Amino acid sequence: MKVEGRKPKAEGRPKVEIRKGACVFVAGTDTGVGKTFVSAEVVRALRRAGVHAGAVKPFATGNRDDARVLQAAMDGELTLKEINPVFFRRPLAPMVAARLEKKRVALRVKLPVKRFDLLLVEGVGGWLVPLTERVTVADWVARQGWPIIIVARAGLGTINHTLLTVESARRRGVKIAGVILNDVNKAGAATARRNAAVLRRLTRLPVFLSVEKLAGKVAASLRDASQ
């Protein structure tokens, strides 16, 4: 809900309560915005804070490099198949890759949820990438009922892309735990801070510029929910 006249805080605890044993989806405003980097770094930061966190990427195309990054962040706790159960060789949207390879996209995937205090589930490409002709990433996440963290670029264009992603998620009833602007150094600190301030005001969501701060807020939310 937008509250007129109230100045948004710089950063805050995720508005969505995150409980132990939960899944949180890591969504991107586009492909290549840094979902894997953010997921891996959040897992590492949470583990340093005493939270047994894990990360998976159910759908991937082209290669399994992202799955290997997540595997390293978990010190090899999961196999590549466990991290990425649905894979297509062609570096295209899953719907397109599956069609060219004459395969089907399995939407029912088994995830190792019970093995972790918190499981991050990284998306493939952007928020509205089609998994099948009828189901997008957004639709699939909405069916799971998971909250999401949105990863966006810090620089030019991020306000539009982030607002579109937020609007789409809210239309589907998906709860948003927060937004993180990635690659701040490339955008420049002043630009990143300005874009973050605008997005906080327009979305009324926590917007982070630091993975460590995001992980800290997630860990605090887990502690609060367990009390």
Give the CATH number for residue 130.
Answer: 3.40.50.300
Task: For residues 8-32, give the mean pLDDT.
Answer: 76
Beta bridge partners of 119: 23, 54
The pLDDT value given to residue 220: 85
User: Which pLDDT value is given to residue 224?
Assistant: 74
- Residue 133: pLDDT band (50, 70, 90) is very high
Q: Give domain status of residue 8, yes or no.
A: no
Poorest-pLDDT segment among 9-13, 27-31, 47-51: 9-13
pTM: 0.91
Q: Is the pLDDT of residue 179 over 70?
A: yes
What would the DSSP string read from start to end of 46-104?
HHHTT--EEEE-SEEES-SHHHHHHHHHTTT-S-HHHH--EEESSSS-HHHHHHHTT--
Q: Which long-range contacts (CB under 8 A, 24 or more apart) does 97-105 make?
A: 97/61, 98/132, 105/59, 105/131, 105/132
Catalytic residue of the set 57, 81, 103, 114:
57
Tokens of 66: 């992202």
Alpha-carbon 212 to chain mean position: 15
Instruction: Answer whether residue 190 shows pLDDT above 70.
Output: yes
Assigned domain for 11 exists: no
Quote the domain boundaries for residue 205: 22-221
Whether residue 190 contacts residue 17, with contact meaning beta carbons closer than 8 Å, is answered with: no
Query: Band of the pLDDT at 7, cuts 50, 70, 90?
Result: very low
Residue 57 vs residues 7, 38, 78, 125: alpha-carbon distances, Å: 36, 13, 12, 11
pLDDT at position 59? 98
Find the mean pLDDT for residues 158-185.
96
* Assigned domain for 174 exists: yes
Provide the pLDDT for residue 183: 86
In a domain, residue 7? The reply is no
> Is 53 a member of any domain?
yes
Q: How many domains does the chain have?
A: 1
Examine the pLDDT at 86 and tell me if it is beyond 50.
yes
> Does residue 90 belong to any structural domain of this protein?
yes
> Is 57 one of the annotated active-site residues of the chain?
yes
Name residues whose C-beta falls within 8 Å of residue 117's C-beta, 6 or more positions apart in sequence: 20, 21, 46, 51, 52, 53, 222
Distance CA 44, CA 55 (A): 10
* More confident: 184 or 223: 184
Is the pLDDT reported for residue 3 higher than 50?
Answer: no
Assigned domain for 2 exists: no
Q: From CA 125, how far away is CA 23, in angstroms rounded?
A: 19
Tokens of 74: 């978990």
State residue 166's pLDDT score: 98
Residue 6 pLDDT exceeds 70: no
Does residue 5 belong to any structural domain of this protein? Answer: no
Percent of the residues in the chain that have a pLDDT greater than 70, as a whole number: 91
The dihedral through the CA atoms of 180, 182, 187, 189 has a sign that is positive
User: What pLDDT does residue 20 have?
Assistant: 79
